[in-house]
C-alpha cells in the first residue's frame, strides 16, 4: 500500500479528510525529529521536511511529491528533485496574516518609540525622550507582493499609507498604488519612508539589499526584513544604519541563524530583533493542512496540483 508520511501533526479533522480522499494510501505520522531514513525512502508522499533525511529522499524510488510545511523552499535540493520528477509544493499563504501583523507590530513600535520605552522599563527608568511619529501619510515600499505583500498592503491602506510595490513582473496588484519592476528600485526606494523586504531567496535575490539598494533610499528610512536573511547584505545594512540612511530596522531573519551572541546588531538601540518568529501562529497547522488536502484531491486524480506548486526554474 502506498504511504503518506507526515512529519508534523495533522489536525484530526484533516487526517480524516485525507483518509477519505486517498483510501488506497496508508497515512503515517512520525515526528520530524524521530523519522528514520527507511521511513523516508518508503514514503510516496512526504508532508514536511527534515534536512538530515535529504539523502534518503533522493535515494527513494517511491517518492512522488513533497508538501513543505514552510513557505520558503530555498533549502530543498531542487535540481535533484526536478531530475527525479518529484513534485514540490510549499505552504505559501499560511503566513499572510501573522507576518503582515508582525510587520505593523514592529513598525508601530518603532514609530511610537515602544522599543525605547521597553528598554527604559527594564532599567526602571522614566524617560520621555525619543521620537514619537505617526505612520498615517507615510509611503511604504513592499518588495515581494505575494500573499504576505498583498495582506501588508491592505493593512497599510487602512492606516492611511501610500503603497509602492516591487515585483519581478511589475503587474498591478490590489491595494498597491504604484508598482515597479525589480529594476526600478532606485525610483521606488527614493519615494519610500518604510521599506519592507518579503523576498524569497533565489540566485537573483541574494544580497538584493546591498550598498546600492540602501543608497537609493532617502535619509531616515525604516527597514523591515521578514523575507530571507541572505537577501540582505548585513554589512551594508549596518553601514546604512551608521550613516543615518536608515533611521531604524526591524529584523526577523539573518544571513546566519541563530544570530551570534557577539553580533553588533544585538546592542543597537535602533534595531528590533526577533528570532525568525514573524510567521509563527497557533493557526499554522490548520492552514497548512488545508493546502495539503486541496492538493491531495488533485493528486489522486492525476491532475495538476492547484496550490503552491514550486516552479523549479524559478526556485519558488
Q: Measuring CA to CA, how many Å separate 88 from each of 65, 122, 227, 237, 312?
A: 6, 46, 20, 33, 9
Active site residue 276: yes
Pick the CATH number of 96-273 from 2.40.50.140, 3.50.30.30, 3.90.650.10, 3.40.50.720: 3.40.50.720
What integer pLDDT is reported at residue 51 of this predicted model?
Answer: 86
Average pLDDT, the chain: 97
Fold observed for domain 3-93+282-299: Rossmann fold (3.40.50)
Closest to 276 measured CA to CA, from 300, 306, 255? 255
Active site residue 228: yes
Question: What residues contact 310, with CB distance under 8 A and at least 6 apart?
Answer: 73, 76, 78, 88, 89, 90, 316
d(Cα 286, Cα 28) in Å, to the nearest integer?
Answer: 18
Lookup: cell for 185? 528600485
Maximum CA extent, the chain:
67
d(Cα 128, Cα 122) in Å, to the nearest integer?
Answer: 15
Q: Which of 13, 134, 257, 269 is catalytic?
A: 257
Lookup: cell for 274? 526577533
| Fold match, 3-93+282-299 / 96-273 | yes
Residue-level pLDDT, tens digit, the chain, 316 residues: 999 999 998 999 999 999 999 999 999 999 999 999 999 999 999 999 988 889 999 999 999 999 999 999 999 999 999 999 999 999 999 999 999 999 999 999 999 999 999 999 999 999 999 999 999 999 999 999 999 999 999 999 999 999 999 999 999 999 999 999 999 999 999 999 999 999 999 999 999 999 999 999 999 999 999 999 999 999 999 999 999 999 999 999 999 999 999 999 999 999 999 999 999 999 999 999 999 999 999 999 999 999 999 999 999 9
Domain ranges in the chain are 3-93+282-299, 96-273
Q: Are strands 162-166 and 139-143 parallel, antiparallel or unpaired?
A: parallel
d(Cα 173, Cα 183) in Å, to the nearest integer?
Answer: 18
What's the full length of the chain, in residues?
A: 316
Residue 299 dihedral angles phi and psi, to the nearest 5°: -60, -45
- pLDDT single digits (tens) 128-155: 999 999 999 999 999 999 999 999 999 9
Q: Half-sphere exposure of residue 194, counting CA atoms within 13 Å on the CB side?
A: 27
Lookup: cell for 173? 496588484
Alpha helices in the chain (DSSP H): 12-21, 37-42, 54-59, 78-83, 96-111, 114-122, 147-158, 185-191, 211-216, 234-243, 284-299
Q: Which of 119, 206, 268, 276 is catalytic?
A: 276
HEC readout, 53-77: HHHHHHHCCCCCEEECCCCCCCCCC
Compute, in degrees rounded to 10, the torsion defined by CA atoms 36, 38, 44, 49.
30
d(Cα 250, Cα 109) in Å, to the nearest integer?
Answer: 10
Active site residue 314: no
d(Cα 187, Cα 204) in Å, to the nearest integer?
Answer: 19
Amino acid at each position: 500500500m502506498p504511504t503518506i508520511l507526515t512529519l508534523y501533526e495533522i489536525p484530526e479533522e484533516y487526517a480524516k479528510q485525507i483518509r477519505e480522499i486517498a483510501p488506497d494510501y496508508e497515512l503515517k505520522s512520525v515526528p520530524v525529529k524521530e523519522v528514520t531514513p527507511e521511513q523516508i525512502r518508503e514514503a510516496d508522499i512526504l508532508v514536511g521536511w527534515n534536512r538530515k533525511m535529504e539523502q534518503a529522499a533522493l535515494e527513494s524510488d517511491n517518492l512522488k511529491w513533497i508538501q513543505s510545511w514552510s513557505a520558503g523552499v530555498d533549502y530543498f535540493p531542487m535540481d535533484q528533485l526536478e531530475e527525479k520528477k518529484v513534485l514540490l509544493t510549499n505552504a505559501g499563504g499560511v503566513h499572510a496574516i501573522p507576518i503582515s501583523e508582525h510587520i505593523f507590530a514592529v513598525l508601530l513600535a518603532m514609530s511610537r518609540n515602544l522599543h525605547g520605552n521597553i528598554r527604559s522599563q527594564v532599567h526602571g527608568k522614566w524617560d520621555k525622550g525619543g521620537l514619537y511619529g505617526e505612520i498615517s501619510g507615510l509611503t511604504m515600499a513592499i518588495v515581494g507582493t505575494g500573499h504576505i505583500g498583498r495582506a501588508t498592503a491592505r493593512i497599510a491602506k487602512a492606516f492611511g499609507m501610500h503603497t509602492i510595490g516591487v515585483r519581478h513582473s511589475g503587474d498591478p496588484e490590489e491595494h498597491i498604488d504604484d508598482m515597479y519592476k525589480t529594476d526600478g528600485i532606485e525610483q521606488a526606494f527614493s519615494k519610500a519612508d518604510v521599506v519592507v523586504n518579503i523576498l524569497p531567496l533565489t540566485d537573483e535575490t541574494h544580497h538584493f539589499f546591498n550598498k546600492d539598494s540602501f543608497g537609493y533610499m532617502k535619509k531616515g528610512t525604516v527597514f523591515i526584513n521578514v523575507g530571507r536573511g541572505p537577501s540582505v547584505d548585513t554589512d551594508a545594512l549596518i553601514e546604512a544604519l551608521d550613516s543615518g540612511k536608515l533611521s531604524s530596522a526591524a529584523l526577523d531573519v539573518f544571513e546566519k541563524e541563530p544570530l551570534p551572541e557577539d553580533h553588533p546588531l544585538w546592542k543597537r538601540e535602533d534595531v528590533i530583533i526577533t528570532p525568525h518568529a514573524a510567521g509563527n501562529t497557533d493557526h499554522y497547522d490548520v492552514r497548512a493542512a488545508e493546502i495539503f488536502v486541496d492538493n491531495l484531491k488533485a493528486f489522486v486524480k492525476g491532475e495538476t496540483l492547484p496550490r503552491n506548486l514550486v516552479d523549479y526554474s524559478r526556485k519558488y
